[in-house]
């Protein structure tokens, strides 16, 4: 019987690999659309609003986004997904769904209460969190935020549906909700936005409507799975208590990103006019590769890793984590190199579409982006390690590591700003805090040798060689004295240099026989070439 079981496992393995590969591709495509449309939103904001209204628009999102991250963002998906995945694997869905239902019911009531409080005290909150900004910006932001607070509730409901669908590994049903939301936001800005108070507030109403549409879409996609949800307030249920204990640390640690953004924004106001737009632009850009590759790979990994751990299949757990980290880094490291060497070219090419966006705005955004480059790599590892901790039911240490990184970020910002360092010190501080957080997570997770990722040293050495060659190639091509003025030529010239950088990186990976490049070829490109050969015959 044992031999038969082993043979069946071997037969199933390729199918599982193909399933994870296909799911990752779908997730990455969805995230490309999501991040791409989110990037267009940043461009459209700069084109639509003058500086005061632009800063007010960006500031108005800070507290709603913070509240969403604090109350909902991480806990719904990162707690519910592994919990339901284990229940599906162990055939205990019925009692687990009861705990999940209770958790969601209480969460919904709590979020509605918190939204009502924010509506009442909105202007006081913005005066407290946005000291140093002009009174007009604070007033406009506080009033606009009142139109945005209800979206927290709809985003929570959408996040619930996504968490459930991910647990059932229906990634195709969750990949395209965020792009729909972003497209609706783009329409709201394009159709309703202008540099006056009424248009600013109406744009906020449009954004709230986009969140409602997002929820309706995700509910429709998850209608078959969501029939298991039954409203209940029984706090004595053991499954609810277990889920609650897991969710609280995740919930708090998920808010650390927003806390760090609030800290950076509070310090950024000391560097003259327009720093909020510059910092927001740089943040949007560095999160493109991280949000597409690391988040896509990590989200697909989470339910499978939770299932492997529930079955005590530690070898497969280690293998899946190793593959996920390496694949994420293999794709984000060259992006970090391009951002490091060509930051001003990047922001001018992608963001400067209007006279509202000045060269001064772009120079400051480029400084911020340079400081963020290392965070692309560090945060990719952090996200995947956090998902790994959540998959094995360990949620407290990621919270501790996040709090340490937040303290490091604030301390470095405070010291460097008061020493008179430039604006880039803010994002350098953030990158250093990410490094500290990554090291803490890696050291603790790898103490369990059975679960630790394998063969990382060889991968990192080869990646460093590829990265160095990429940097040298970009420095050489930067010596070419060509600075096109027309937008289409700017885009083409930047694209040529970016492609050149990737060619160098992948050529070195090929020369060093990196497994990640070989796996990508075997799974995707080789099939394409085989199909072309068959067609030619």
Could you report the per-residue pLDDT of 254-271, keeping only the tens digit for each?
777 777 877 887 788 777
Domains in the chain, number: 1
The reported pLDDT for the residue numbered 287 is 85
Report which secondary-structure segment, H or E, holds 223: none
Give the least confident one: 23-27, 89-93, 358-362, 459-463: 23-27
Domain residues for the domain of 234 are 29-254
Q: How sure is the predictor about 303, in pLDDT bands with cuts at 50, 70 and 90?
A: confident
Within a domain: 206: yes
| Share of residues in the chain with pLDDT > 90 (%) | 25
Within a domain: 195: yes
| Segment 380-402 mean pLDDT | 90
Residue, of 128 and 179, whose pLDDT is higher: 179
| Segment 196-216 mean pLDDT | 90
End-to-end CA, the chain: 46
pLDDT at 496 over 90: yes
Residue, of 382 and 175, whose pLDDT is higher: 382
Q: What is each CA distance from 311 to 1, 79, 88, in whole angstroms?
A: 18, 18, 12
The reported pLDDT for the residue numbered 131 is 52
Work out the mean pLDDT of the chain and round it to a whole number. 82
Residue, of 71 and 456, whose pLDDT is higher: 456
Within a domain: 196: yes
Q: Are 388 and 305 in contact (CB under 8 A)?
A: yes
Which pair of structure tokens corresponds to residue 531? 């199909």
| Segment 448-474 mean pLDDT | 92
Within a domain: 436: no
Within a domain: 84: yes
| Segment 160-176 mean pLDDT | 80
Return the number of other C-beta atoms located less than 10 Å from residue 456's C-beta: 16
Q: Which of 265, 274, 423 is nearest to 357 (CA)?
A: 274
Within a domain: 362: no
Round to whole Å and give the CA distance between 512 and 523: 19
The reported pLDDT for the residue numbered 274 is 63
The reported pLDDT for the residue numbered 330 is 92
Q: What residue ranges in 233-306 does DSSP mark as E strands?
A: none
Q: What are phi and psi of 496, to 5 degrees?
A: -60, -45
DSSP per-residue string spanning 258-284: HHHHHHHHHHHGGG-SSHHHHHHHHHH
Long-range contacts, 200-207 (Cβ 8 Å, 24+):
200/49, 200/53, 200/56, 200/57, 200/140, 200/144, 201/143, 201/144, 201/147, 203/57, 203/144, 204/60, 204/144, 204/145, 204/146, 204/147, 204/148, 205/147, 207/147, 207/148, 207/151
The reported pLDDT for the residue numbered 529 is 45
Residue, of 443 and 131, whose pLDDT is higher: 443
pLDDT, tens digit (0-9, with 9 covering 90-100), for 504-537: 999 999 999 888 777 656 554 444 444 444 444 4
The reported pLDDT for the residue numbered 318 is 92
Within a domain: 185: yes
pLDDT, tens digit (0-9, with 9 covering 90-100), for 287-299: 888 888 888 888 8
| Residues 162/168/170/175 CA torsion (nearest 10 deg) | 20
The reported pLDDT for the residue numbered 16 is 53
Round to whole Å and give the CA distance between 275 and 284: 14
Q: How sure is the predictor about 436, in pLDDT bands with cuts at 50, 70 and 90?
A: very high
| Segment 367-394 mean pLDDT | 91
The reported pLDDT for the residue numbered 77 is 67
Within a domain: 240: yes
Which pair of structure tokens corresponds to residue 259? 């806390």
> What pTM, to 2 d.p., does this model score?
0.75
Q: How sure is the predictor about 209, in pLDDT bands with cuts at 50, 70 and 90?
A: very high
């Amino acid at each position: 019987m044992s031999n038969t079981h082993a043979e069946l496992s071997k037969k199933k393995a390729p199918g599982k690999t193909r399933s994870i590969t296909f799911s990752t591709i779908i997730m990455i495509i969805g995230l490309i659309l999501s991040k791409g449309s989110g990037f267009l939103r940043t461009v459209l904001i700069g084109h639509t609003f003058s500086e005061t209204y632009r800063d007010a628009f960006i500031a108005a999102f800070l507290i709603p986004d913070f509240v969403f991250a604090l109350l909902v963002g991480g806990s719904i998906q990162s707690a519910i997904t592994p919990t339901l995945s284990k229940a599906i694997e162990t055939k205990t869905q019925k009692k687990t769904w009861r705990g999940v239902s209770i958790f969601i019911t209480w969460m919904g009531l709590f979020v509605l209460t918190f939204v009502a409080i924010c509506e009442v005290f909105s202007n006081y909150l913005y005066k407290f969190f946005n000291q140093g900004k002009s009174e007009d910006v604070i007033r406009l932001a506080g009033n606009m935020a009142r139109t945005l607070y209800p979206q927290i509730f709809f985003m929570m409901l959408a996040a619930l549906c996504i968490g459930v669908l991910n647990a059932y590994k229906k990634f195709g049903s969750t990949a395209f909700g965020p792009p729909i939301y972003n497209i609706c936001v783009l329409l709201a800005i394009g159709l309703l936005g202008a540099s006056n108070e009424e248009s600013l507030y109406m744009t906020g109403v449009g954004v709230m409507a986009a969140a409602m549409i997002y929820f309706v879409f995700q509910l429709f996609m998850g209608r078959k799975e969501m029939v298991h949800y039954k409203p209940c307030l029984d706090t004595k249920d053991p499954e609810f208590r277990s889920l609650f204990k897991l969710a609280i640390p995740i919930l708090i640690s998920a808010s650390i990103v927003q806390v760090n953004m609030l800290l950076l924004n509070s310090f950024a106001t000391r560097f003259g006019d327009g720093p909020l737009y510059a910092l927001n632009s740089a943040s949007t850009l560095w999160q493109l590769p991280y949000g597409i590759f690391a988040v896509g790979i990590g989200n697909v990994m989470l339910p499978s890793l939770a299932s492997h751990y529930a079955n005590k299949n530690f070898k497969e757990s280690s293998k899946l984590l190793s593959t996920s980290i390496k694949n994420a880094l293999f794709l984000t490291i060259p992006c970090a190199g391009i951002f490091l060497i060509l930051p001003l070219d990047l922001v001018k090419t992608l963001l400067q579409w209007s006279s509202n966006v000045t060269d001064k705005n772009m120079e400051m955004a480029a400084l911020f982006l340079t400081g963020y480059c290392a965070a692309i790599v560090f945060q990719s590892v952090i996200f995947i390690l956090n998902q790994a901790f959540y998959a094995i039911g360990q949620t407290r240490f990621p919270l501790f590591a996040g709090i340490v990184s937040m303290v490091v970020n604030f301390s470095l910002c405070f010291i460097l700003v008061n020493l008179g360092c430039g604006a880039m010190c803010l994002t350098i501080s953030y990158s250093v805090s990410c490094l500290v957080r990554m090291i803490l997570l890696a050291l603790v997770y790898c103490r369990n040798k059975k679960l630790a990722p394998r063969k990382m040293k060889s991968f990192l050495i080869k990646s460093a060689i590829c990265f160095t060659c990429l940097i040298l190639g970009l420095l050489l091509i930067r010596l070419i004295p060509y600075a096109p003025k027309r937008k289409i030529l700017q885009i083409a010239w930047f694209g040529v240099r970016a492609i050149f950088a990737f060619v160098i990186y992948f050529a070195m990976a090929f020369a060093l026989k990196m497994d990640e490049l070989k796996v990508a070829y075997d799974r995707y490109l080789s099939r394409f070439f085989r199909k072309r050969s068959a067609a030619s015959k």
